[in-house]
Amino acid sequence: MIAVRLTFLGTGTSQGIPVIACNCAVCRSVDARDKRLRASVLLDVTHDARHVRLLIDAGPDFRQQMLCAQVTHLDGILLTHEHKDHTGGLDDVRALNYTSGRPVDIYAETRVHDALKREYAYAFEENKYPGVPEFNLCTIDQTPFSIHRIGITPVRVWHHTLPVLGFRIGNLAYITDASRIDDDEKKKLRGLAVLVLNVIRRTPHLSHFSLPEALALFNELKPQRLYLSHLSHQLEPHAQLAASLPPNVFPASDGLCVECNEA
Ligand SMILES: [Zn+2]
Ligand SMILES: [Zn+2]
Ligand SMILES: [Zn+2]
């Protein structure tokens, strides 16, 4: 049996919520669920006696997220794509390098690794400055792969014209920064207990699902539960948004844990 426990470490869009210098109702909300760090999730996966702890995306709030969740060890970081709100915190893996005594395994497509080599050039120099972050680049594509013999299925999604990877583990799938999923890839998203989708606002957007588009996918793919993440301040405050959603559709919030077991 595969058991997956997903913890939302960040559920905000690229700028986070509150947005700097914004005075809107969401940014001024005193509800803790309206404070959203950049999108990232921690996955604790157990299969038979094996257990892995994985992170999906490491944006600019990575340090704070590791501290909040009291993470002392990661078996790998999966990157959906190279945008800064998903990769900007990777310098801080230094702390994990130090405690584990080894590089952190970074699972991503070649294009994303190439972006890391540019953005973190100092970590890839021949004669590295002492104490730079240590990355072990593990290249993936759309082919299923495994970490400690726990199977992971990448799902190709489109972020306007940029190819991005979502990930399915057991009966849970996490998809962020998508505005379109081709029919062939949708087949990988059948029979889910939990689906997480990015939603940026109610009206259409070039590179992210709108709320009506996400609800249409919920009705098409029929997961038992849908969680919305990568939310922006253009949506209502959390409580109001939650009250407007159909049964079994929920806005995620930072710190929320979701469990899913596959027999
Ligand atoms: Zn993003
Ligand atoms: Zn605002
Ligand atoms: Zn993006």
Report the C-alpha gap between 228 and 176 in whole angstroms: 9
Instruction: Give me the chain's average pLDDT, please.
Output: 97
pLDDT value at 263 more than 70: no
Peptide linkage before 18 cis (omega within 30 of 0): yes
Task: Work out the pLDDT band at 217, boundaries 50, 70, 90.
Answer: very high
Q: Residue 24 Cα, ligand 2 centroid: separation in angstroms?
A: 4
Task: Work out the pLDDT band at 262, boundaries 50, 70, 90.
Answer: confident
pLDDT at residue number 216: 98
pLDDT value at 261 more than 90: no
- Of the listed ligands, the closest to the CA of 206 is 3
Instruction: Name the 3-class secondary structure at 250.
Output: strand
Q: Residue 176 Cα, ligand 1 centroid: separation in angstroms?
A: 7
Q: Residue 175 Cα, ligand 1 centroid: separation in angstroms?
A: 11
Report the C-alpha gap between 88 and 60 in whole angstroms: 5
Cα dihedral 180, 186, 188, 189 in deg (nearest 10): 90
DSSP state of 242: H
Report the C-alpha gap between 107 and 191 in whole angstroms: 25
Question: For strand 172-175 and strand 194-198, is the pairing parallel, antiparallel, or unpaired?
Answer: parallel
Contact 231, 199 (CB under 8 A): yes
Domain-by-domain residue ranges, the chain?
A: 2-262
Q: Of all residues in the chain, what percent are helix, strand and coil, respectively (each to 5)?
A: 25, 35, 40
pLDDT at residue number 181: 98
Section 223-246 average pLDDT: 98
Q: Residue 127 Cα, ligand 1 centroid: separation in angstroms?
A: 33
pLDDT at residue number 255: 98
pLDDT at residue number 39: 98
Cβ neighbours for 118, distance < 8 A, ≥ 6 positions apart: none
Report the C-alpha gap between 61 and 36 in whole angstroms: 10
Query: What kind of architecture, by CATH, is found in domain 2-262?
Result: 4-Layer Sandwich (3.60)
Task: Please give the share of the chain, as a percent, with pLDDT higher than 90.
Answer: 97
Q: How many CA atoms lie within 13 A of 237 on its CB side?
A: 12
Section 47-67 average pLDDT: 97
- Of the listed ligands, the closest to the CA of 234 is 2
- Of the listed ligands, the closest to the CA of 15 is 1
Question: For strand 50-56 and strand 40-47, is the pairing parallel, antiparallel, or unpaired?
Answer: antiparallel
How far is C-alpha 90 from the chain's CA centre? 14
221 residue type, one letter: L
**Dihedral sign computed on CA atoms, order 67, 71, 73, 76:** negative
Task: Work out the pLDDT band at 14, boundaries 50, 70, 90.
Answer: very high
pLDDT at residue number 258: 98
Task: Please give the share of the chain, as a percent, with pLDDT higher than 70.
Answer: 100
pLDDT at residue number 29: 98
Q: 118-134 pLDDT, tens per residue? A: 999 999 999 999 999 99
Long-range pairs, 140-146, Cβ under 8 A, ≥24: 140/107, 140/108, 140/109, 140/165, 141/109, 145/107
pLDDT at residue number 1: 85
Contact 188, 171 (CB under 8 A): no
Task: Work out the pLDDT band at 161, boundaries 50, 70, 90.
Answer: very high
